[in-house]
Amino acid sequence: MGDQKLPSRAEDFSEWYNQVVLRAELADYAPVRGCMIVRPYGWALWENITAALDRRFKATGHMNAAFPLLIPRSFIDKEQSHVAGFSPELAVVTHGGGEKLEEPLVIRPTSETIVGHAYAKWIQSYRDLPVLINQWNSVVRWELRTKLFLRTLEFFWQEGHTAHATASEAEAETRQMVDVYVDFAMKDAAVPVIPGRKSEAEKFAGADVTYALEAMMGDGKALQFCTSHNLGQNFAKAFEIRYLDKTGQLQHCWTTSWGLSTRVVGAIIMVHGDDQGLILPPKLAPYQAVIVPIFKSDEEKAQVMEAARRIRAELLNAEVRVTMDEREGVSPGFKFNDWEMRGVPLRIELGPKHFAKGSVVLARRDKPGKEGKSFVLQAELAEATKRTLAEVQQALHDRALAFRKANTGEPKDYGEFKQAVETGFALAFWCGSAGCEAKIKEETKATMRCIPLEQSGGSGSCICCGQPAKERAIFAKAY
């Protein structure tokens, strides 16, 4: 491990991605095709993602709960568009306790239906509203073409489910969660995202409106970062989620759902990584810094290790997530490469020469070579580490944003449009018709990613049919 070079991103982005996931020890393949084993380093990253989101969910009034993994098959059939959307992907349990079950059970592809069932019981009056619940779990969708983190048969995520008294409250909740996700993406994942509305063809099965955050990966393709759905009264009607309003009238509730999954790990890899491997944003990195002690003789070792341990304690005390590479029998150079592969944002080199001067070398993962190196006095290390981590965090975001801007075209005609979606995003007027959307997909393999919430205004003509159009949409090839 660590000896062979990775394929470069330019030469084979897909294979580069697979190798980074395996060699950084984020995840591994499982005996059942399409499933993944998330390894401790990958899980630590996911834990930091969940913590950053969970804090925001709770600050906006949500609480966590746990709904069961198994759902009666009949539940899925209750909501028509839902059944059409999910049936082909269902894993069905037909036997239990050695006997054939009277009614088959499905392994949740999402919990909409079972949540609907529970909400119908729990909600009686306007006083019971709103209900604001989230859950962290895993779900199963029988995907045929899989890739670690990006598309797996079982994946980990959070699913929020809320019920409200009015349409406007449900819409406000749906939009609030878009804002929460944008805040997380920009500030913690350092991934610049474009929040927008999905088309009828791309929206969630059973939703009135689906909002999504779209991000550009390092190969110019789009990845849907997460979604927030306004479900209108569709599930409330299918599951009889009703309440008595203030005037004593029985009303159907308005519900929402919103989710973000382990796909986001894939996004972080593809947005920030380079030809040396992973680059993790400091706010989410399992280790923000790694100390590599350098020595030859036993005497040097004693001195260096003592200083290294002291530094480690100081950094832990300053709430920096730091580890120390004490492995014997591997060279410092090997260790440098290994931690570069794993994307640790900062490396702290400490050798006899540094020790004598009371200094260390700080090396930034995002800036290779001399440019990213600085000498820091040991006495000032904690402060310098925190400052540098903040700089790395910002630099990753800014670099990804600059890359997206450089690879987003605003084509004037269909010819330019076709070129733009070969290498990145196309931002173009779209008339809103499903026909144009389908034609574009057929001819270019690019899909309508979203209609950005932020529009520059004005009107134009549809990039496909030339009819009048009021909104610009993002089109791209996507994961």
Q: Using CB under 5 A, list all residues that contact Zn ion.
A: 431, 433, 436, 462, 464-465
Strands 209-216 and 250-252: unpaired
Shortest distance in whole angstroms from residue 468 CB to Zn ion: 9
Nearest distance, CB of residue 456 and Zn ion, angstroms: 19
Please, what is the minimum distance in Å from the beta carbon of residue 465 to Zn ion? Answer: 3
Q: Minimum Å distance from CB 462 to Zn ion?
A: 3
Count CA atoms within 13 Å of residue 135 on its CB side: 16
Chain centroid to Cα 116, Å, comes to: 26
- Whichever of 201 and 330 has its CB closer to Zn ion, that residue is 201
Q: Which is nearer to Zn ion, 305 or 465 (CB)?
A: 465
Q: Shortest gap between Cβ of 410 and Zn ion (angstroms)? A: 17
- Return the residue matching tokens 């904690």: 382
What is the CB neighbour count within 10 angstroms for residue 69? Answer: 16
Q: Report the C-alpha gap between 477 and 220 in whole angstroms.
A: 8
E strand residue ranges, 165-287: 194-197, 209-216, 222-230, 242-244, 250-252, 254-261
Q: What residue type is assigned to position 395 of the chain? A: A
Smallest distance from the beta carbon of 411 to Zn ion, in angstroms?
14
- Whether omega before 72 lies within 30 degrees of 0, making that bond cis, reads no
Among 38, 41, 39, 29, which Cα is nearest to 341's?
41
- Residue 136 in tokens: 């962290």
Nearer to Zn ion, 231 or 431 (CB): 431
Query: What are the CA-CA distances from residue 277 to residues 269, 337, 415 (Å)?
Result: 9, 9, 36
Of 257, 258, 261, the C-alpha closest to 116 is 257
The β-bridge partners of 376 are: 360
Residue that the structure tokens 């030339």 belong to: 466
Q: Please state, in angstroms and rounded to a whole number, the distance separating the CA atoms of residues 303 and 431.
A: 70
Least Å from the CB of residue 8 to Zn ion? 39
Task: Report, in Å, the least distance between residue 239 CB and Zn ion.
Answer: 37
Nearer to Zn ion, 285 or 436 (CB): 436
Nearest partner of 218 among 286, 278, 296, 300, judged by Cα: 278
Output the smallest distance, CB 440 to Zn ion, in A.
9
| Parallel, antiparallel or unpaired: strands 154-164 and 131-140 | antiparallel
Alpha-carbon distance 58 to 210, whole Å? 22
The H or E element containing residue 80 is helix 80-86
Smallest separation, CB 429 to Zn ion (Å): 9
Positive or negative: CA dihedral 81, 84, 89, 92: positive
Identify which of residues 201 and 313 has a Cβ nearer to Zn ion in the complex: 201
Query: Which residue's entry shows tokens 């290294």?
Result: 308
CA–CA distance, 339 with 289 (Å, rounded to integer): 10
Closest to Zn ion by CB, 212 vs 431, is 431
Strands 408-409 and 425-430: what pairing? Answer: parallel
Q: How far is the CB of 430 from Zn ion (least distance, A)?
A: 6
- In angstroms, rounded to a whole number, what is the distance separating the alpha carbons of residues 66 and 64? 7
- Torsions phi, psi for 287 (to 5 deg): -120, 125
Q: Nearer to Zn ion by C-beta: 216 or 469? A: 469
Whichever of 181 and 475 has its CB closer to Zn ion, that residue is 475
Least CB distance to Zn ion at residue 467 (A): 5
Return the number of other C-beta atoms located less than 10 Å from residue 214's C-beta: 21
Which residue, 280 or 469, has its beta carbon nearer to Zn ion?
Answer: 469
* Cβ nearer to Zn ion, comparing 101 with 465: 465
Token digits for 426? 């196309």
